[in-house]
A and B are shown apart, each in its own frame.
Chain A
Amino acid sequence: MELHLNRVDYMQVGVTSQKTMRLLPALGKKATQKVAIADNDGVLTCFGMKKGEPVPVFKTLPGPKVSRLDLGGVLGTPQEKVFVCSGSEVRGFTKKGKQFLTFEANLTESITAMRVCGADLFVCASYVYNHYCDCKDQDYFLSGDKINDIACVTSAHLERPAPVLACQDRLLRVLQGSELRYDVAVPGPPSVLELYNKDGGKLTPHPLQTLPNRRTTGEDVLYGTADGKVGLLKIGESAALSQWVIDNHQKKGGVLCIDTYDIIGDGVSDLLIGRDDGSMEVYGFDSAGEPALRFEHVLSESVTSVQGGCVGKESYDEVITATYTGWVTGLTTEAQKAEAGPGDELSMSKETQTKVAALRLELDQLQSRVLQGRERYQQTSRSGTAVSAVPVFSVNDKFTLCQDDASYSLTLEVHTAIDNLLLQSDVPIDLLDVDKNSAVVSFSECDSEPNGNFLLATYRCQANTTRLELKVRSIEGQYGTLQAYVTPRLQPKTCQLRQYPIKPLSLHQRTHSLQHDRPMNRLSLVGLFSLAEIHSWVGFCLPEVPEKTPAGETLTLYFLNTFLGTQLEATYSKGEGHFRSDNISTISILSDVLSKEATQRKINLNISYDINDESVSHTLRMIHPKLQYQLLLAKKVQLIDALKELQVHEGTADFLIPEYRSILDESQHLLDEYKKQPAHLERLYGMITDLYIDKFKFKGQNVKTKVSSLLEILDNYDLNSLLAFFSEA
């Protein structure tokens, strides 16, 4: 089944946040739907399309930034009331634009996620969840980490509606009233939740109803993660069942919005997924009920909202997307007609011509107003007392650890074209090339003394670049800050500083399960410190630690080293902290950083170690397959060119031994694999060297002089000789 969708731009509003656009239900049969969209200027716009022109239904006055938009209404009637939240306030509008509700939730923080369900209102503000019924407070829950989104599952299997919270610590928390019913670990920090088929799959007439895993009950929840994965969970009374997960092998962007809509027209609801790298995907389901990619379109900026429906023209289904800079775009099933016949000089339709003319007129007027403004601004420069303060422009940025190649990806998005970007770092890091990034990079000479610069790089962007993506590789143990100065192409020119901490254990990520049979080293701290203090130290050392100290006397967090697969367990309470890891280097880094932090705050720490010598050889054995694979790969890649030459020279490859022939056959794959992980081998060598130094550091020996002989052994790698080298001396 091939799907062809054509792109149509409808309208542009201000910068939009995640999930701030919805389609109002259609009135009659086959009629087009209206679009409700709210932006960061606080304007809620509702418009419909008439003859290719957007016709506004209503538009509210500017106000504080709108963070979410949802539709609601009395259960059983069309859900056509529009709810928006800005700050800690929720407002409701009828489809005509009449405001009928203003509700102040009295939260200290701004609302980040909202869901409306009949008379029930669910709102979340960073760590807090609140449930109101008819604007009366019902339930309250304090989550262990930031809440990114909320869904509300109602089903016959459940006694009461079960709210599901998507939390930053890779957990979905299923609530019952004010209590946690249970939590489910998902493969990445969930960023969006959506019910399958909007009501949890309840009314879907699935063609595969005979299959055991048919989706006929209303408890299916779709989630999307910040690292680009999508999955389906069946929420049960006491546990959730994972149905499937779409992995993110192609390293696409994080998921920002999900919708289900039958765009293919086969009777099964398809998945519509919008990502922060601008791609919009349609997944259909194959006969086994597994999702399969059917269509992909790449817009140039983050897709903040997506919904299936019909807006542009009657009886043509389409996917409506809203992007970061506020473009509402349709991907329609309507074929784009060939406009002009051969020999016809007019290449534009009348409609477009009037549209363009109107736009040009508006531009001219704006231009003169801008000129006036510019002049006035220039005049102020002559006054001695006037000041110049340009309002802060919004930058949509993300700095995340990619699990696959253990590197950080930094994405920056601005609502207008970026002129240049300056990157500065006070720790040694590597900047990697990203194919998608077309900006011209230039590295400047660095002066580590006295200005502490280890990286100074400028990116000069091509015209119309609103989004930049780059990759950064850090080294564990070396920590500091990466700073980015973004300058957009906007007069008067300003630039904004963004800072990203590179943590000492930067390659670790949170996990919720550990293998307990590994040999572990332990680091224990005892001293006069509060829980909040040690929590902040842990947060200083490791990524993905909640800013706020979670409730409870003792906290336990698990981490996984994304590069080596070693693990770390942190358990701490007031006056006491224990860290257990099978990687001795992790313990060494932690002890260095923690003692430094404590000295800075003049807190007396009692540090004790429990080093398990077994752990070193265990770690080496864990590295072994990776190292062996990389060495073999490097060897094979080295041979490819020579073998190809032989093949050309002899005209055939039949005379080669099978091993070489297979290298020739797989050459493309090998090269791809090799390209994907630049400097992988060097990183592994570096970590083995650290391991060696750290092992003997705990014994009080300095073995830095022996590192060269270690590297010699690595050059002629053999696990046993390496193990022997580690155990001697």
Chain B
Amino acid sequence: MLVPIFTLKLNHKINPRMVTVGKFDGVHPCLTAATQAGKVFIHNPHARGQRPAAHRLSQSAQDSDISLLNINQAVSCLTAGPLGPNTAGDTLLVGSQTNLLAYDVHDNADIFYREVTDGANAIVLGKLGDIQSPLAIIGGNCAIQGFDYEGKDQFWTVTGDNVRSLVLCDFTGDGKNELLVGSEDFDIRVFKEDELVSEMAENETVTSLCHMHGSRFGYALANGTVGVYDRTARYWRIKSKNHAMSIHAFDLNGDGVVELITGWSNGKIDARSDRTGEVIFKDNFASSVAGVVEGDYRMDGQVQLICTSTDGEVRGYLPASKELKGNLMESSVEQDLVRELSQRRQNLLLELRNYEENAKVVVGVSETDSEVGVIPANTQLQTALSVRSATEAQKAHVELSISTPNETIIRSVLIFAEGIFEGESHVVHPSAQNLSGCVRVPIVPPKDIPVDLHIKAFIGGKTSTQFHVFEITRQLPRFSMYVMAVDPLVAPPTGRVTFSINDRPQRVVMWLNQNFLLPEGTNSPDVTFTSLRGGGLLSISMASSGQITLSTDDIDLAGDLIQSLASFLAIEDLSAEVDFPDYFKELRTTLTEVDEFHSVHQKLTAAIADHSNYIRNMLVQAEDARLMGDMITMKKRYRELYDLNRDLVTEYKIRSNNHNALLARLKSVNQAIQRAGRLRVGKPKNQVISACRDAIKSNNVNTLFKIMKAGAAAS
């Protein structure tokens, strides 16, 4: 059994996911983590008390091994690593919601301090693609930026939603790193520099990513799922009721292949085989795990796995030696094997007994009403999916109807599906009076995603206590919330996308049938739908030349349709003519608002500087008065100070409101670029994104809209 080789109690809280190890002097690894009150602590047990306190750095009074770094802002991410070309040691990078600080701990000096309007939710340090110098890449609200050692903005792109996790890995196997981005819209996107090469849809916010080896990487979701991908194919995943706080790749059993180490919110640490997800080691902390990192912390040439908890407990594990033979758990492999085989035997015996007992039941004996739940052997469950428009009693929904062909009843229906229910399942349990052989389940998928519905229906008699479980899987098509009906009162959509394909109309009809719930016998690619979510119309028409026109006011829907169609028809590059007058008008207002908020922001910042000068003066005056025993003046000064403080607080509130509004606008601008990109496929897509970015940089609003409408090539 593997035991930690060292355990430390640091007496400082550690913020989850904000832990790293850096060799700031180039030699000694130091555990560095964000703690309460906008501070970062650096644990350096190797060089005790050599450094004087100055600038940002101060020695902790409780523990001489720990130095504290004042950031004075809530830290949102941090990392350490080599950034500059000429420095021997690692650079510490600390991100907050507004700034990015690059700091040289050894020399106790700022390297750069940049304002980042989109915030920094995640950070990664390393080389990306063909860019020469290592970059500090931060992911914020829909935007990703990369800075070099001079603080120069070397890389910029947008993504679908707020970025929550980043990792660099050679995804395509070309010897250069790609950037993997996990975001709040449940997607993992792969960027080859600023070109989006792959997109994997998950079903929750992607909170962590880590590189395993080769093109394999691990991921964790906000709903407690962890797993491993190899390129775009998922190898395995498991789901726990706890949340994965941190994941890291480390070869703990010494077999030369890294395992996925996961730190959980309940304090559990486990190591899972990268191939199967099988647990090969686990340990427990008293509180939630904050971060899992690695480093040669004992300076003996061996790299340890270092796990930290939010309470400041640190444990280091050495990879298992050869003698353990990869067996890190307490129990012996043999016994487990024997036990597992016996368990399987037991299960088979039980199943066999079920069949034998079943055969003994005399045909035709006591039908559905016995307790055991005898049902006719030919009972088969029928399921059907259909679209229902809104009625007075019920919202518009997709209806799943499940029925039995005979007098048996459905006691309950469980539907397990990802991403369309609040939890992972939906239950229908009619009361005893309402039992029947037919159950209708209304489903309202919140997003346009294809979903597998794993249906479990409990079938039996009215008074049974044991039921047969029927398990069926049905797929809910991607665009199921659209009904083929036209309401003449609804105005035709103004937005449209036009593009050309070189395929037969029959193929488009096939795509329609696969992705929509269509009535029987639809065989024309010219169709009109009403959206059950917003009520707007969507029409698709195809000319004999292969030109397709999509009319809808929903730019996201248009993007989804184009992406889905392109992947169905295996189109690599697709450019399109676009016009969404309403959306573009909105965007124009947003852009002017951004300018306004920017100027307000600058004004407020100036006011703050004034106020802080006042405060300094006032405080000195007040303290002077106190030392001189002039209590009346002192009281007066402090009262003034108090008023000033109150003003500051209100001002702060205004400022933060302004800031939040600004962030929201910036996010929607970023999203607009992303959306414009999604209306194209392949090269035209990337061209549109980078051209839009350039237009924003040069503040050329008209060009921006031109690009969005006609694509980058036209400009």
Q: Is A373 in contact with B356, judged by CB distance below 8 angstroms?
A: yes
Q: Which of B155-163, B164-172, B359-367 contacts A (4 or more CB under 8 A)?
A: B359-367
The 8 A CB mask of B456-485 against A (1 = contact, 0 = none) is 101000001111111100000000000000
Q: Is A363 in contact with B425, judged by CB distance below 8 angstroms?
A: no
CB distance from A326 to the nearest CB of B (A): 8
A76 is an interface residue with CB less than 8 A from chain B:
no
A670 is an interface residue with CB less than 8 A from chain B:
no
List of B residues within 8 angstroms of A700 by Cβ: none
Contact for B342 among A12, A388, A462, CB less than 8 A: A12
Known interface pairs A356-B337, A441-B423; 20 further A-B residue pairs with C-beta atoms within 8 A, sorted by A's residue number: A339-B332, A343-B322, A359-B341, A381-B377, A383-B377, A386-B378, A387-B376, A390-B373, A391-B354, A439-B241, A442-B423, A444-B423, A451-B431, A452-B431, A458-B425, A460-B425, A485-B467, A645-B37, A648-B37, A650-B61
List of A residues within 8 angstroms of B239 by Cβ: 440
Bound complex: CA A490 to CA B240 (Å): 23
Name the residue of chain A whose CB is nearest to the CB of B333: A347
Cβ < 8 Å to B, chain A residues 315-359: 325, 336, 339-340, 342-343, 347-349, 352, 355-356, 359
Q: Is A443 in contact with B422, judged by CB distance below 8 angstroms?
A: yes
Bound complex: CA A493 to CA B239 (Å): 23
Cβ < 8 Å to B, chain A residues 364-410: 366-367, 369-370, 373-374, 376-377, 380-393
B32 is an interface residue with CB less than 8 A from chain A:
no
B351 is an interface residue with CB less than 8 A from chain A:
yes
Cβ < 8 Å to B, chain A residues 615-665: 641, 644-645, 648-652
A7 is an interface residue with CB less than 8 A from chain B:
yes
Name the residue of chain B whose CB is nearest to the CB of A359: B341
B698 is an interface residue with CB less than 8 A from chain A:
no
CB distance from A291 to the nearest CB of B (A): 26
**Known contacts being A366-B352, A369-B352, is A493 close to B424, with CB within 8 Å?**
no
Q: Is B377 in contact with A386, judged by CB distance below 8 angstroms?
A: yes
Name the residue of chain A whose CB is nearest to the CB of B337: A356
Name the residue of chain B whose CB is nearest to the CB of A466: B343
**Known contacts being A458-B427, A494-B468, is A348 close to B35, with CB within 8 Å?**
no
A18 is an interface residue with CB less than 8 A from chain B:
no
List of B residues within 8 angstroms of A389 by Cβ: 357-358, 361, 370, 372-375
**Known contacts being A325-B346, A492-B354, is A460 close to B416, with CB within 8 Å?**
yes
Contact for A359 among B345, B372, B427, B466, CB less than 8 A: B345
Q: Is B424 in contact with A381, judged by CB distance below 8 angstroms?
A: no
The 8 A CB mask of A64-99 against B (1 = contact, 0 = none) is 000000000000000000000000000000000000
The 8 A CB mask of A413-431 against B (1 = contact, 0 = none) is 0011100101010100000
Q: Is A355 in contact with B348, judged by CB distance below 8 angstroms?
A: no
Cβ < 8 Å to B, chain A residues 474-494: 485, 487, 489-494
**Known contacts being A388-B376, A494-B466, A648-B35, is A420 close to B341, with CB within 8 Å?**
no
Q: Is B241 in contact with A440, judged by CB distance below 8 angstroms?
A: yes
What are the 10 A-B residue pairs with the smallest beta carbon separation, nearest first? A651-B61, A442-B423, A373-B355, A493-B469, A386-B377, A444-B427, A389-B374, A391-B357, A456-B427, A380-B377
Bound complex: CA A207 to CA B566 (Å): 86
- Can you list 8 A-B contacts with CB-CB less than 8 angstroms, sorted by A residue number? A7-B335, A359-B345, A366-B349, A387-B375, A389-B358, A391-B354, A440-B224, A498-B465
The 8 A CB mask of B311-351 against A (1 = contact, 0 = none) is 00000000000110100000111110111011111111111
**Known contacts being A9-B339, A376-B355, A648-B39, is A363 close to B344, with CB within 8 Å?**
yes
List of A residues within 8 angstroms of B438 by Cβ: none
List of A residues within 8 angstroms of B273 by Cβ: none
A495 is an interface residue with CB less than 8 A from chain B:
yes
A453 is an interface residue with CB less than 8 A from chain B:
yes
Q: Is B345 in contact with A387, judged by CB distance below 8 angstroms?
A: no
Cβ < 8 Å to B, chain A residues 437-470: 437-445, 450-453, 456-458, 460, 462, 464
B635 is an interface residue with CB less than 8 A from chain A:
no
Q: Is A424 in contact with B350, judged by CB distance below 8 angstroms?
A: no
A360 is an interface residue with CB less than 8 A from chain B:
yes
Name the residue of chain A whose CB is nearest to the CB of B241: A440
List of A residues within 8 angstroms of B427 by Cβ: 422, 424, 444, 456-458
A286 is an interface residue with CB less than 8 A from chain B:
no
Contact for B358 among A390, A424, A435, CB less than 8 A: A390
List of B residues within 8 angstroms of A8 by Cβ: 335
List of A residues within 8 angstroms of B344 by Cβ: 363
What is A's interface to B at a CB cutoff of 8 Å?
A: 7-9, 12, 325, 336, 339-340, 342-343, 347-349, 352, 355-356, 359-360, 362-363, 366-367, 369-370, 373-374, 376-377, 380-393, 415-417, 420, 422, 424, 426, 433, 435, 437-445, 450-453, 456-458, 460, 462, 464, 485, 487, 489-498, 641, 644-645, 648-652
B266 is an interface residue with CB less than 8 A from chain A:
yes
Q: Is B338 in contact with A422, judged by CB distance below 8 angstroms?
A: no
B60 is an interface residue with CB less than 8 A from chain A:
yes
List of B residues within 8 angstroms of A339 by Cβ: 332, 334
Bound complex: CA A422 to CA B356 (Å): 28
CB distance from A653 to the nearest CB of B (A): 9
Q: Specify the main secondary structure of chain B where it touches its partner.
A: mixed
Bound complex: CA A452 to CA B37 (Å): 49
Bound complex: CA A94 to CA B239 (Å): 52
Cβ < 8 Å to A, chain B residues 79-123: none
**Known contacts being A9-B335, A456-B429, A491-B351, is A652 close to B467, with CB within 8 Å?**
no
B414 is an interface residue with CB less than 8 A from chain A:
yes
B657 is an interface residue with CB less than 8 A from chain A:
no
CB distance from A528 to the nearest CB of B (A): 31
CB distance from B698 to the nearest CB of A (A): 45
Name the residue of chain B whose CB is nearest to the CB of A424: B429
Q: Is A386 in contact with B376, judged by CB distance below 8 angstroms?
A: yes
List of A residues within 8 angstroms of B416 by Cβ: 458, 460
B36 is an interface residue with CB less than 8 A from chain A:
yes
Name the residue of chain A whose CB is nearest to the CB of B433: A450
Bound complex: CA A281 to CA B263 (Å): 30
Name the residue of chain B whose CB is nearest to the CB of A375: B355
List of A residues within 8 angstroms of B37 by Cβ: 645, 648-649
The 8 A CB mask of B498-531 against A (1 = contact, 0 = none) is 0000000000000000000000000000000000
B430 is an interface residue with CB less than 8 A from chain A:
yes
Q: Is A496 in contact with B429, judged by CB distance below 8 angstroms?
A: no
Bound complex: CA A416 to CA B343 (Å): 8
Cβ < 8 Å to A, chain B residues 42-87: 60-62, 68
**Known contacts being A381-B377, A386-B376, A439-B241, is A362 close to B354, with CB within 8 Å?**
no
Q: Is B334 in contact with A352, judged by CB distance below 8 angstroms?
A: yes
Q: Is B430 in contact with A451, judged by CB distance below 8 angstroms?
A: yes
Name the residue of chain A whose CB is nearest to the CB of B353: A391
- Residue among A380, A439, A495 having the largest count of chain B Cβ atoms under 10 Å: A495
Name the residue of chain A whose CB is nearest to the CB of B242: A438
Q: Is A388 in contact with B375, judged by CB distance below 8 angstroms?
A: yes
CB distance from B322 to the nearest CB of A (A): 6
CB distance from A354 to the nearest CB of B (A): 11
List of B residues within 8 angstroms of A440 by Cβ: 224, 239-241, 424
**Known contacts being A440-B424, A444-B426, is A641 close to B374, with CB within 8 Å?**
no
Q: Is B468 in contact with A388, judged by CB distance below 8 angstroms?
A: yes
Bound complex: CA A386 to CA B374 (Å): 10
List of A residues within 8 angstroms of B60 by Cβ: 648, 651
B583 is an interface residue with CB less than 8 A from chain A:
no
Name the residue of chain A whose CB is nearest to the CB of B311: A668
**Known contacts being A349-B334, A497-B467, is A435 close to B377, with CB within 8 Å?**
no
Bound complex: CA A360 to CA B338 (Å): 10
Q: Is A491 in contact with B354, judged by CB distance below 8 angstroms?
A: yes
**Known contacts being A386-B377, A390-B357, A644-B13, is A12 close to B421, with CB within 8 Å?**
no
List of A residues within 8 angstroms of B547 by Cβ: none
Q: Is B351 in contact with A373, judged by CB distance below 8 angstroms?
A: yes
Contact for A348 among B13, B334, B351, B426, CB less than 8 A: B334
Bound complex: CA A657 to CA B416 (Å): 55
B412 is an interface residue with CB less than 8 A from chain A:
yes
Bound complex: CA A464 to CA B426 (Å): 24
